[in-house]
Structure formats: C-alpha cells, structure tokens
Amino acid sequence: MSAYSTYTDQELTALLKSGDEYAFTEVYNRYWRVLYALAYNRLRDTQSAEDIVHDVLVSIWKNRATAEVEHLNAYLARATKYMVFHVIKRAQKFSHDEHAMDNAELVIDQEDIEDRLHYKRLLEMVNTEVEMLPEKCRLVFKYSREEQLSVKEIAEKMNVSTSTVENQMNKALNILRKNVKNIHLILF
C-alpha cells in the first residue's frame, strides 16, 4: 500500500494540480473500478465502459492545471455519466430512432434512481462499519474523510505521531475494505 492511499481526495487533487504522477496513479487505482461499474451498468459493453473510464481519468490528468475540482469522486462520476450519455446519444444518431432515445433516457433515469438507492444503502452500511471501528481508527478515519484533515493535522489534533496516524488509517482502511467487500457481495 502506498502512502498516497492514505491521502484524502482533496490532498490528491492538490497534488494532481502540481503534476504529481503518483497522485494520478492513486486516483486511477482508487476510482477505476467504481467508474467502470457506473459505465458498464449503463452500457453493458465492456470495451466501451473501459474506454470511457480511461478517457475520463486521462482527461483529469491532461486538464489538471485548469480543472476546478471540489469533490473528486462527484466530479469523476459526473464526467463518466456525461461520457456514457454522449456514447448512447451518438449511437442513437446512427439509428435515427427517436423512440430508442426516449427509452434510453427512461432507462438512465431509472438506473439513476436505483443507483441512488443502492448508494444510500451502501453508505448507511459503511457508516455502520465506521462506527464499529476501534476508537483511534474511527477518529483518524473521520478526521481524514469527514473533516478533510491532513495526516499532520490529525496527528496534532490527537497529540500523536504522524506514523501513528498513518498506521491507524491503514488499519481502518483495511478493515473497511474487507467489510465493504462483504457488503457489496450482499447488495449486488
């Protein structure tokens, strides 16, 4: 696990702006699967979904100096949905079938509703898992993810070393990854 895996999205965004390739690699690894699932669920085409995710992630690298990104995960999800919609729309232009366009929009709307419901359920389950973390892990995780504090700021706030914060964050992430995988299997 690289040190970059403990950085918040805000920290990674700042590092991206400065041209840090390792930050880009972390963003790519952190979001590839989620964005792929989002694209694939709408297109049901592996190659198109992979192409879209690759294009979105490369685009954030190419536009890193000028892109205004407040919430990285929301930005990437929106960009992916836009690209998916663009692919669907382009495919429909070739068929000249207005009925297909209406159906695609209805399917996208229905999938958005389903996605939001799945996301809400998953978020509730993850929040439950966070509350079950050991106290130090939970505090470090919440300071990092909810308050967007850096490792150094968390260490100062908790009056511990930065290595303790990193160790607790790694422990929290490992526990959550394991438990969230199990949750994901139950939901999907």
Last residue within a domain, chosen from 81, 96, 111: 96
Tally of structural domains, the chain: 2
Last residue within a domain, chosen from 34, 66, 96: 96
Q: How many helices (H) and strands (E) does the chain have?
A: 8, 0
pLDDT per residue as tens digits for the range 3-43: 888 999 999 999 999 999 999 999 999 999 999 999 999 88
H helix or E strand, kind and range, residue 183? helix 162-187
Regarding whether 102 and 90 lie in a shared domain, the answer is no
Report the CATH number at residue 69. Answer: 1.10.1740.10
Q: Per-residue confidence at 101, pLDDT binned at 50, 70, 90?
A: low
Regarding whether 82 and 109 lie in a shared domain, the answer is no
- From residue 89, how far is each of 69, 100, 125, 138, 139 by CA, in Å? 26, 10, 35, 44, 45
pLDDT per residue as tens digits for the range 37-90: 999 998 888 999 999 999 999 999 999 888 888 889 889 999 999 999 988 887
Mean pLDDT of the chain: 81
The whole model's pTM is what? Answer: 0.52
**Radius of gyration of the chain measured on its C-alpha atoms:** 19
Domain region containing 72: 1-96
Last residue within a domain, chosen from 80, 96, 112: 96
Regarding whether 3 and 92 lie in a shared domain, the answer is yes
pLDDT per residue as tens digits for the range 144-163: 877 788 889 889 999 999 89
H helix or E strand, kind and range, residue 53? helix 46-62
Dmax (CA) for the chain in angstroms is 65
